Structure 1
Amino acid sequence: MRLVLPVLTSMILMAAPGGCSKPPETGAEPAPETVTAPVVIGGVDLARPVRVLGTEPFWAIDIADQDLVLTRPDGAEVKAPVASPIVTGTTAVYTGTTDSGQTVVLTLIATECSDGMSDRLYPLTARVELGEETLNGCGTTPEALAQAPAA
């Protein structure tokens, strides 16, 4: 009886769920953890809101939450959903289509830019193509724009 009890106990432990048995292999490996690095050009993190503006004529674009919104003092607001920019070196390009079907392309280049009306310098130069119209301006983050004194 002394030999039977340890053998019987071992058999029960091996047969019990969660016992010493190895879990069945499913063949699927755990998915690798995805880490998205920030996309930064000219010191501006493009994963965060960006503000682009121009003069003569006055206009502004805000990019946030995958939306591009163009505003002008004398015109209706223009919205277009945009995906993450395509970045090549120091250039980032956003592309979208407005509700009216116009293509909008915003190109940001990491070069110092002046708005032409103040002594303020911006880290990004911008070019906007909206249908047949082209607008040129400068860009930065809304936070940097609010903190920098206008001259």
Structure 2
Amino acid sequence: MRPILILALPVLVVAACSDSGEATREVEIGAPEAPAPTAPPVLNDVALDQPLAVLGTEPFWSVRIRPDGIEYDGVDRPLRRGANPGPTVQGTTAVWATATEDGQTLVVTLAATPCSDGMSDRAYPLTAQVEVGAETLNGCAAPQSLIDTTDETGQPKAATS
């Protein structure tokens, strides 16, 4: 009689614990759980998965970091494009390292330090260093949305009709 009791015990326990008024949820045994969504890396309140504008003066140059790639150009400088491998974040620094279509090394380093471009009153949340081949350039960085919505005084751009 013991074998029958042992086989019936799990059924009795399940029946005693179930509430017939609530919907039950079936769980497939061995199915992996969905991974929890991860937050994008952030430096100085800037999410690094959004489009970023990196720029410098004297000489004027800019880098655009987009999910689909990185572009570098400037006054009297050719447009160079590379893949966006995503940043490597370590502490308060993020680094993107790629090669441009013409084989140049392009390394963009952003630090969580406020920055001024020295020519405008716009405040940038990040300091930047860009290495293109053997040249090193220093500048500032911000979300592209900040550049698009503020003028050089740091004030919201006037709406155009």
Taking structure 1 as the reference length, what is the TM-score of the superposition? 0.77
Q: 1:122 maps to which residue?
A: 124
Counterpart code for 2:88: I
- Mapping of residues 2-151 of structure 1, within 5 Å: 28-151=30-153
* Helix, strand or coil at the partner of 1:29: coil
How far did 1:34 drift? 4.3
> In 2, are the aligned partners of 1:51 and 1:141 still within 8 Å (CA)?
yes
Q: Distance in 2 between matches of 1:35 and 1:85?
A: 18
Q: Distance in 2 between matches of 1:96 and 1:65?
A: 13
How far did 1:36 drift? 2.3
Counterpart code for 2:143: T
Q: Distance in 2 between matches of 1:54 and 1:131?
A: 17
Runs of 4+ with >3 A deviation = none
Cα RMSD of the aligned pairs, angstroms, is: 1.8
For the pair shown, the structure with the greater C-alpha radius of gyration is 1
> In 1, are the aligned partners of 2:44 and 2:125 still within 8 Å (CA)?
yes
Q: 2:21 maps to which residue?
A: none
Q: Distance in 2 between matches of 1:81 and 1:66?
A: 7
Q: Distance in 1 between matches of 2:90 and 2:121?
A: 29
* Helix, strand or coil at the partner of 2:35: coil
Q: Distance in 2 between matches of 1:109 and 1:39?
A: 13
Q: C-alpha deviations, 1:37-76, integer Å up to 9, x for none?
A: 1211011111110000000000111010241101212121
Percentage identity across paired residues of the two chains: 45
Runs of at least 5 residues in structure 1 that lack an aligned partner in the other structure: 1-24
Q: Distance in 2 between matches of 1:38 and 1:82?
A: 15
How far did 1:149 drift? 2.8
How far did 1:142 drift? 1.3
How far did 1:133 drift? 0.4
Q: C-alpha deviations, 1:70-125, integer Å up to 9, x for none?
A: 12121210111121101111100001011121111100001010001112210000
Taking structure 2 as the reference length, what is the TM-score of the superposition? 0.73
